[in-house]
Amino acid sequence: MDKEIDKSILRRERRRKLIISGTVGVAVVGLAIWGMSGMAPTINSRDITLGTADEGPLDISIAASGRIVPAYEEIINSPVETRVLKVYAQPGDSVKAGTPLLQLDLEQEETSLGKLQDARTRQQQELRQLELTNKTNISDLEMQIKVSEMNVNRLRIEVSNERRLDSIGSGTGDRVCQAETAYHAGVLELEQLRTRLRNERLRTAAAERGQQLNVTSADRDIEMMAKTLQRGSIPSPLDGVLTFIVTDLGTRIGAGERVAVVSDLSSFKVMGEVPEASSSKVDVGSAVNVRVNGAQLTGTVTNITPQAKQGIVSFVVRLDNPRDKHLRSGGRAEMYISYGYKDKVLRVPNGSFFKGEGEYNVFVMDGDNRLVKRRIKTGDSNREYVEVLEGLRPGDRIVINDLEKYKNKSKLKIKK
């Protein structure tokens, strides 16, 4: 007869089986995780762009952005505070130099011009009256001098006669003294008249010059006002395309406010921008490579703004071919501005992975179908190449496009 197994033994046996099963399960899961961790994710070969590190020269440049603008553009401002009476053209119209664009209300300026002309007429009359008065005064003095000269000559003869009579005993010493006194008084009076004439001529000349300056100033005011009235029709200053114009009749316009813009769309330049931190690398005369609408153009920096605005420094690029067919007003341009040269550096082709000088984690070819992550340090660059300071050797092939989504992977397998 079978003997019943003790219940405590049965419980120990069940616990042993459970422990064994759990240990086996954990081991299986661990092996699975280990196996998965050892497998590298794959990437299609079409999704990577490879570049080979080599040694060579580097024409150093910095990247900048720009906007295509007309090479010649005239901004027309209102000469006075007024309002728009008539509009003769619309944005987009082709216009010739001298073509009227707008008519401004210049009634107040016309009234001012009339007042200026009246004032000038009065000043001219005052000048003529002053000249006549001065001429009369000088003529009077000149006549007085002639009379005085005649009197002095007469007194000189009397002195000579009295002295001769006194020498033969027919005259007296008193009469000689009186004649000499009268003569000297006549001479002094003549000298006084001559001094008055000199001073009068200086005074009248100064007064006439002062009055003439008033007339000249009035002429300038009239000329300026006449030009203002002439500009009131707002003619086009050049042949081109009207890219902006105030079109609402009755619109109030302040003095100096923009009312129209005429652009010559047959040639262009580039208005560039760089961060203030990089502005020291941009100089007048720097060579520039410009990429616009798939075309490669060249140019030169001709002007740099002296002050930064919101951390940005602007500059102007004159294009070697400002009439290139790829240029369109308002279009965007990528630019590379040269500022140095190195004879021999370790370099890789420039690609989307590169955001500026610094350190990067890149994938390097390891065998025929495997990529491994490597830390590199970059330096100067240009549109074609990036200098590598650390992390690569000549011949290394690296992925130069951005693989941001694989940043947490250390290895990748290439799928052909």
Calculate the alpha carbon distances from 230 to 100, 110, 271, 301, 307 in Å. Answer: 11, 11, 33, 38, 37
Query: What is the structure's pLDDT at 1?
Result: 44
The sign of the dihedral angle between the CA atoms of 275, 279, 281, 285 is positive
Query: What is the structure's pLDDT at 239?
Result: 87
Structure tokens that stand for 201 in this block: 């001529």
Using one digit for the tens of pLDDT, what is the confidence trace for 82-135? 777 788 888 888 888 888 888 777 666 666 667 777 778 888 888 888 888 888
Hey, which residues does 364 pair with through a beta bridge? 372, 398
Q: Which of 350, 410, 336, 337 is nearest to 379 (CA)?
A: 350
**Alpha carbons 182 and 193: distance in angstroms, whole number:** 16
Hey, which residues does 260 pair with through a beta bridge? 76, 245
Query: What is the structure's pLDDT at 102?
Result: 81
Supply the angle between the helices 173-231 and 107-168 in degrees, to the nearest 10. Answer: 170
CATH code for the domain defined by 43-58+343-415: 2.40.420
Query: What is the structure's pLDDT at 347?
Result: 95
Q: Which of 141, 144, 148, 143 is nearest to 201 (CA)?
A: 141
Hey, which residues does 388 pair with through a beta bridge? 378
Using one digit for the tens of pLDDT, what is the confidence trace for 361-388? 999 999 888 999 999 999 988 888 999 9
**Alpha carbons 323 and 27: distance in angstroms, whole number:** 74
Query: Can you give the residue ranges of every domain in the chain?
Result: 1-39, 43-58+343-415, 107-231
Structure tokens that stand for 64 in this block: 């900048």
Structure tokens that stand for 307 in this block: 């002050």
Structure tokens that stand for 299 in this block: 């140019």
256 phi-psi bin (left φ>0, alpha ψ -120 to 50, beta other): left
**Contacts of residue 18, Cβ cutoff 8 Å, sequence gap at least 6:** none
Per-residue three-class SS string for the chain:
CCCCCCHHHHHHHHHHHHHHHHHHHHHHHHHHHHHHHCCCCEEEHHHCCEEECEEEEEEEEEEEEEEEEEEEEEEEECCCCEEEEEECCCCCCEECCCCECEEECCHHHHHHHHHHHHHHHHHHHHHHHHHHHHHHHHHHHHHHHHHHHHHHHHHHHHHHHHHHHHHHCCCCHHHHHHHHHHHHHHHHHHHHHHHHHHHHHHHHHHHHHHHHHHHHHHHHHHHHHHHHHHHCCCECCCCEEEEEECCCCCCEECCCCEEEEEEEEEEEEEEEEEEHHHHHHCCCCCEEEEEECCEEEEEEEEEECCCCECCEEEEEEEECCCCCCCCCCCCEEEEEEEEEEEEEEEEEECCCCCCCCEEEEEEEECCCCEEEEEEEEEEEECCCEEEEEECCCCCCEEECCCCHHHCCCCEEEEEC
Answer yes or no: are the C-beta atoms of 235 and 100 closer than 8 Å: yes
Answer yes or no: are the C-beta atoms of 373 and 363 closer than 8 Å: yes
Residue whose token pair is 């370790």: 346
Query: What is the structure's pLDDT at 288?
Result: 92
Residue whose token pair is 């007309």: 70
Query: What is the structure's pLDDT at 33?
Result: 47
Walk along the chain (416 residues) and give the pLDDT tens digit of each residue: 445 555 565 566 666 666 666 555 555 555 444 444 445 688 888 888 999 999 999 988 888 999 999 988 888 887 777 777 788 888 888 888 888 888 777 666 666 667 777 778 888 888 888 888 888 888 888 899 899 889 889 888 888 887 888 777 776 778 888 888 888 998 899 899 899 889 988 888 888 888 888 888 888 877 776 766 665 567 888 888 888 888 888 778 778 888 888 988 889 999 999 988 888 889 999 999 999 988 899 999 999 998 888 889 999 999 999 999 999 888 999 999 988 889 999 999 999 898 888 999 999 999 888 999 999 999 988 888 999 999 999 999 999 998 888 888 889 998 87
| Class of the CATH-defined domain 107-231 | mainly alpha
Calculate the alpha carbon distances from 162 to 130, 158, 159, 186, 377 in Å. Answer: 47, 6, 5, 17, 121
